[in-house]
């Protein structure tokens, strides 16, 4: 399980990847 926290221009994007599943907040 990999958690990637990315700071985008005006917003913050939290990407949680579990095997084949990808969650985008």
pTM beyond cutoff 0.95: no
d(CA 10, CA 14): 13
d(CA 19, CA 11): 25
Query: Cβ(7)–Cβ(18) under 8 Å?
Result: no
How much is the pLDDT for 21?
A: 60
Segment 1-25, tens digit of pLDDT: 566 666 655 555 556 666 556 555 5
Which residues have a Cβ under 8 Å from the Cβ of 1 and sit 6 or more positions away?
Answer: 16, 17, 18, 19
Tell me the domain boundaries of the chain: 1-25
How much is the pLDDT for 9?
A: 56
């Amino acid at each position: 399980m990999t958690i990637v926290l990315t700071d985008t221009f005006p917003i913050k994007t939290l990407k949680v990847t579990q095997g084949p599943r990808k969650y985008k907040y």
